[in-house]
Structure 1
Amino acid sequence: MSTLPSGNGLAGRRVLLGISAGIAAYKSAQLARLLKQAGCEVRVVMTEGAQAFITPLTLQALTGEPVRTSLLDPEAEAGMGHIELARWADVVLIAPGTADLMARLATGMADDLLTTLCLASEAAKVMAPAMNQAMWRHVATQRNAERLQQDGWRLLGPDSGDQACGDVGPGRMLEPEAIVAELLAQPAETPPQELPARGLHIVITAGPTREPLDPVRYLSNHSSGKMGYALAASAARLGARVTLVSGPVTQTTPEGVERIDVETAREMHEACLRLIAGCDIFIGCAAVADYRVDGVAEHKIKKQEGEDGLTLKLIKNPDIIADVALKREPASHRPLVVGFAAETRDLEAYARDKLTRKQLDMIVANDVSAEGLGFGADDNAALLLWRDGEGESSESLPAQTKTRLADAILRRALSCLPDGPTH
């Protein structure tokens, strides 16, 4: 059974849980239970279509509150009930959020109880999208997602994986535990004086790079970008100005984060060196290709009859984290440099070597061969190594959501700064 820490930041929060018409609605029962377990007051609003997947009676039993399903309910609306409900909420959380609901909210429609509440409420607004992978990737959905974020919505996910329709790809609703962990990471607006990264500029790299072989093929790796994006979201929540240099991923840009898209290691290298003069912390989380092909083919490489193989000559790519660490002069513009070490064996030995050899201030090492952790997973564990006045120190962080792990990594990095921001 999932449990939450006592004294968590959600206790006493009033959560209006909106459920729309997606197969992932069955997960909303577990989400409601976890929110209650966290100490939240929970009231549920369901769209008409959502009731085809899960009954209002189930949610009523889990929350202890009547479930609202209609805008035109004469008994509830006798005292303008939908306005009272909108005013009651601290957080409006929609899970699942379908493509249809996203489209209606993005255009400001109020044609049912849930969309009307969203327009009438001044509460924080959070959504966990869930839909078929093609629907999520569609330009209209991406446009709606961007508009919703501009309007103040915080989007959690979606995740990637097997879907009920048989497809595989982005569009799965985050698991209830991951949604609650995200809310725990940012339960409410934090007063500016309590933001430990306020005034800092943090540059983060994320995702894989792609090194072309010819116009249709490339070399890459399994990085999903989830850890780097979690770090960017955490840094923004802690008050930093965040620039995210991202390889090709399907992740949604975190709220308040500036994103620069790149494809190759050389493009990422150029962007990072351009940014480091004005940053306080540089975090190299991307899984950058160590090698590229010496000479990209102008046309698609064809299979040759009678040949059993293909030989490619690979040359080294620039070492981004090492070059950033070496270009930390003048001292007034010296960023704290944090590297990552994704290993499959001898984790601590390789991490210590990288920390010393590349002159880093801190390194985050993780075992990407561990089942359920690392590339593509929602959870991760890490070994932190850093330099301080007494030499090297270390800390082991157990398996946890990447959101919570990102917070722990950022807070450790902030503790390594000499006296706060340098600018």
Structure 2
Amino acid sequence: MWKDKHVTFFITGGIAIYKVIDLIRSLQKKGAKVRVAMTKEAMRFVGKATFQTISGHPVQTDLFEQVTSSPVAHVELADWTELAIVAPATANIVGKMANGIADDFVSTTLLAVSTPVFVIPAMNNHMWQNPALQRNLNLLKQDDIQVMPPDDGPLAEGYSGKGRFPDTFAVLNFIETNLLEKNEQLQGLKHKRFLITAGGTRAYIDPVRYISNRSSGKMGYAFAQVARASGAEVTLISTTNQLPVPVGVHLISVETVTEMQQAVQQNFADADILIMAAAVSDYEPVQFVDHKIKKNSKTKQFTLELKETPDILKSLTAQKKKQIVVGFAAETDDLLQNAEAKLASKGADFIIANDVSRGDIGFNVSENAVTILQRQHANITIPKMSKQMIAKKVLEILAKRFS
């Protein structure tokens, strides 16, 4: 979604400006190319040298200063822009945008932008509630400009209220969800019920030790976000509490294989699509010791006897009626051979094979590369890209089943 996307930040004068630095960095990590334009009021909070450094581009603040080779700088920047973010958006810039006023570089450039525009307001709660501001916001929405409501919380004035700039994840989630909602290839998933698992399960040895794996849950959370953005109802069964839950997703927290199995069983009958993205432990201790196991100073050895865990995926495919079931094959060798064997033995409709021996894809990173296997169809290979984009491409294939 963000790879090589041209994103321009239009920064206006508010105390929340410092939060925009983190937002820019986050988009750059996702592969976006960023440029910045600032109002003169914004420079009273943070100088343009800061944004020139992090963006790698000159920052223009005045209509008549010459910081690029283009003779018409505001049109050049508008033409370069594929997505515009106004942040923090003051009441002043909202009023200008709503009424077509172009009296500085930021407002003039925004008037020339013909690509999606997202406005992230931040201001005092009394200003936010002012009828004039609300009228202007409604005008922006009528013009198909996306406005993200501010958060409730502590304000610069020393008290709490609605007007606080949202955190970086929330802003990204708002923008990404809005863009995904416009994806016609995902329309077949609207109102479908998804059941998605994420993270690595824990098999406890004693109260403080367990067997697990390196799964971060990022792949499952990416599926949850994209599915929810497509208009689906999503239940996410997760072993991790380290990732923000996508807006509108129902979370069920679990730790062990048994807990995950119970949660999936309880929700499977109502699901249209099950995506088993969790890395479920294959083995667990035969016996759980209810106290911390101490070192044995005599033998200096400890033998742990293991048994197989329940096969959640196989047990569900035996019960399925109308559901589409998607499983994962996380392998370190013979990737396709092992995935084909899993497709044949598990009864799933799809198996997504991914190589977890590499450090740049798979477990505990933000990118992946997969091969999708399904019966009586050719394999589909998706090259290395963000897990969110992997999820989007997989769900586009699933959406065709419902179209």
With structure 1 as the length reference, what TM-score do the two structures score? 0.66
Q: Mark the runs of 5 or more structure 1 residues left unpaired by the alignment.
A: 68-78, 95-104, 128-139, 142-147, 159-178
Q: How does 1:266-285 map to 2 (within 5 A)?
A: 266-285=258-277
Residue by residue over 1:264-306, the C-alpha shift from the partner in whole angstroms, topping out at 9 and shown as x without a partner, is: 0010001111111111110100001111112211111011111
> Which residue matches 1:81?
92
Report if the CA contact (8 A) 1:232-1:244 is conserved: yes
Give 1:187 shift: 2.5
Distance 2:302 2:337 in 1: 35
> Does the C-alpha gap of structure 1 residues 311 and 55 become closer, same or farther in structure 2, counting only changes over 3 Å?
same
Residue by residue over 1:367-397, the C-alpha shift from the partner in whole angstroms, topping out at 9 and shown as x without a partner, is: 011231111111110001112xxx2321100
> Which residue matches 1:357?
345
2:272 corresponds to 1:296: no
Report if the CA contact (8 A) 1:216-1:300 is conserved: yes
Residue by residue over 1:50-88, the C-alpha shift from the partner in whole angstroms, topping out at 9 and shown as x without a partner, is: 559925798796454559xxxxxxxxxxx9734426758
Distance 2:20 2:166 in 1: 19
Distance 1:32 1:374 in 2: 16
- Tell me the matched-pair count: 334
2:54 corresponds to 1:54: no
> Which residue matches 1:308?
300
> Which residue matches 2:71?
none
Distance 1:29 1:361 in 2: 35
Q: How does 1:329-348 map to 2 (within 5 A)?
A: 331=321, 334-348=322-336
Letter in 2 for 1:402: K
Residue by residue over 1:120-177, the C-alpha shift from the partner in whole angstroms, topping out at 9 and shown as x without a partner, is: 85744399xxxxxxxxxxxx99xxxxxx9xx99685389xxxxxxxxxxxxxxxxxxx
Report if the CA contact (8 A) 1:60-1:66 is conserved: no
Q: Mark the runs of 5 or more structure 2 residues left unpaired by the alignment.
A: 64-89, 99-106, 111-116, 139-145, 155-160
Give 1:215 shift: 1.1
Please state whether the residue corresponding to 1:337 is helix, strand or coil: strand
Distance 1:26 1:239 in 2: 28
Letter in 1 for 2:242: T
Report if the CA contact (8 A) 2:52-2:59 is conserved: no
Match of residue 390, structure 2, among 395, 405, 412:
405
Distance 2:119 2:44 in 1: 18
Letter in 2 for 1:397: I
> Which residue matches 1:253?
245
Output the aligned Cα RMSD. Answer: 4.5
> Does the C-alpha gap of structure 1 residues 265 and 282 become closer, same or farther in structure 2, counting only changes over 3 Å?
same
> Which residue matches 1:156?
169
> Which residue matches 1:395?
380
Give 1:413 shift: 2.2
Give 1:411 shift: 1.2
Distance 1:47 1:338 in 2: 51
Q: How does 1:106-255 map to 2 (within 5 A)?
A: 109=124, 123-125=146-148, 156=169, 183=175, 186-187=178-179, 190=182, 195-255=187-247
Distance 1:290 1:411 in 2: 30
> Which residue matches 1:369?
357
Please state whether the residue corresponding to 1:306 is helix, strand or coil: coil
Task: Give aligned-pair identity as a percent.
Answer: 29
With structure 2 as the length reference, what TM-score do the two structures score? 0.68
